[in-house]
A and B are shown apart, each in its own frame.
Chain A
Amino acid sequence: MRSTVKTLWLGAALVALLLGIAGYTAFFIAPTERTMGDIQRIFYFHVTSAWTGFLSFFIVFIANVAYLVARKPRWDSLAVSAAEVGLAFTTVVLVTGPIWAHPVWGIWWTWDARLTSTFVLWLLYVVYLILRNLLEDPERRATVSAVYGIFAFLDVPIVYMSIRWWRTQHPQPVIAGGSGSGLDATMWRVVLVCWAALLSLMVLVLRSRYQLEKLRHEVAELSYEIDSRAPGTGSRGLARQETGGQGGATR
């Protein structure tokens, strides 16, 4: 236990250092954008948060599929941890986006494909967490929410396409958006530094959230065992046998 806490602190210090470096590069090393000015610097955290958030949701999807195949509780713990972390990063995207958009576009929000589908994505995973809260039995919760998680993940590209085809009047994506788009080489390097920092933050938070979930799982199992040993279940030996059998079934 003690070593876990130590690693956590070490990891946290490392991530803090990386975030500091990322902030320094974004504010002082990256060149000022010609038309947007300094406000464009939010881009380094906005876009990289989006990538990190999407990666987290991809992990949720993988964990959902893995749970349905292997039925190991640890996949379910990974799924819920990654969903919460992804939601946090997506919230950062949805908050920094309008802050950037207001001075540049003159409006806080526009119903463009990337904005709207990120918003729908955010909604889908908020619902995923709500659904988990409303399911009582741990095993049912894991299975049922995995099914919903897979549906939600399949829906994301479809949502994006539908909005992009019919509901959009926006500028092309800056990176890989066809001719005329592209980033300055220094800006690219800053983007990568920031992304590395955010990824390490994601790994750190995901890891400790995952460990918390595992502990919760253990506590739930222990209290289940205590419940089944409650008075009235007969002799102690019998109770132990029963719980042993049930413990084996849940594990």
Chain B
Amino acid sequence: MSAPAFSLDTVGTLRGAGIILAKELRAEWRTRELMNTTIVFALMVVVLFSFTFDPSDAESRRYASGLLWLAFLFAGSLMLHPSFAREQSNDTLYALRMAPVAPSSILLGKLLANFIFMSLAELVLLPVFTVLYNVQILPVLDQLLLVLALGTLGLSVTGTVFSAIAAQARMRELLLPLLLLPILTPVLIASVEATTGLLSDPPELAATPLKFLVGFDIIFLTASYFLFDYLCEE
């Protein structure tokens, strides 16, 4: 395959993505090892952070959103790794390539699966975090979920593509965080900015970070759509 063909068959792509998504969810449901390890890891990060400074009331509110997002980012950079490494070690990536689905379907299916896994982990972590760091999230829950969704989408898009990159290299486990974390700098900054606004005393939702996150997601979704085919070649 010299020049990847860009499929414009939207229905076919979505159907293929649905099949991949179902496969990912089924595989995870059978073992649930990904979710378990990720949630425990993120929890550990949150607890360990509390030892690095005095988690008293005023201070914790100032740093809380940063801690939360760093925990998500670290957890994501570990959790997204098996997405393609698992296919590589079982040699199922070959079968996936042979399957009559477009590469964009594989990307979309995996991306949605990773987004769901990551969001589930965040939803478990959020109440624990609220209790441990004494922040009020209930009055702004809907807005907070929007920020979480946008940030997590950015994390899942880049994470899924980079998981495919790392799976082809040596030292993949170490490589994925290295690839992912610097690229996600803007997501971290904008998400923390938006979350800090929501957790501060009169809570306020700034529009700029949200628009910024939407922009990041769109740019990297588009880039992934066009570049992912190259990663699927033999």
Task: List residues of A whose CB falls within 8 A of some B CB.
Answer: 68, 71, 120, 123-124, 127, 130-131, 134-136, 140, 143-144, 146-148, 150-152, 154-155, 158-159, 161-163, 165-167
Contacts and interface: CB of A to CB of B under 8 A. Distances in A.
Given A151-B161, A154-B220, A143 B179 contact: no
Contact of A150 (B208, B216, B227): B227
Contacts of B193: 166
B158 interface: yes
A161 to B, nearest CB: 7
Main secondary structure of the interface of B (DSSP, over half): helix
A140 B168 CA distance: 8
Contacts of B162: 148, 151
A179 to B, nearest CB: 24
A163 B230 contact: no
A123 B182 CA distance: 7
B48 interface: no
A131 B220 contact: no
Contact of A162 (B168, B171, B212, B231): B212
B170 interface: yes
A134 B183 contact: no
B189 A136 contact: no
B204 interface: no
Contacts of A120: 182, 185
Contact of B230 (A68, A123, A161, A162): A68
13 contacts: A68-B227, A71-B2, A123-B182, A134-B170, A134-B175, A136-B170, A146-B230, A147-B230, A150-B227, A151-B158, A151-B161, A151-B227, A166-B189
A159 B184 CA distance: 9
A55 to B, nearest CB: 21
Contact of A158 (B2, B171, B219, B227): B219
B73 interface: no
Interface of B: 2, 158, 161-162, 165, 168-171, 175, 178-179, 182-183, 185-186, 189-190, 193, 208-209, 212, 215-216, 219-220, 223, 227, 230-231, 233
A146 B227 CA distance: 9
B183 A162 contact: no
Contacts of A150: 223, 227
B183 A124 contact: yes
Nearest to A134: B169
Main secondary structure of the interface of A (DSSP, over half): helix
Contacts of B209: 166
A134 B223 contact: no
B182 A147 contact: no
B221 to A, nearest CB: 12
Indicate the member of A147, A150, A154 with the most B CB atoms within 10 Å: A147
A146 B228 CA distance: 12
B165 A131 contact: yes
Contacts of B165: 131, 144, 147-148
Given A162-B190, A166-B189, A155 B231 contact: no
Contacts of A152: 183
A148 B220 CA distance: 12
A130 B178 contact: yes
Given A71-B2, A143-B233, A147-B165, A155 B183 contact: yes
Contacts of B215: 158
A124 B190 CA distance: 19
A127 B227 contact: no
A167 B189 contact: yes
Nearest to A136: B170
Given A147-B165, A162-B212, 14 more contacts: A120-B182, A120-B185, A134-B169, A140-B168, A143-B230, A144-B231, A148-B165, A151-B158, A158-B216, A162-B185, A162-B186, A162-B189, A165-B212, A167-B189
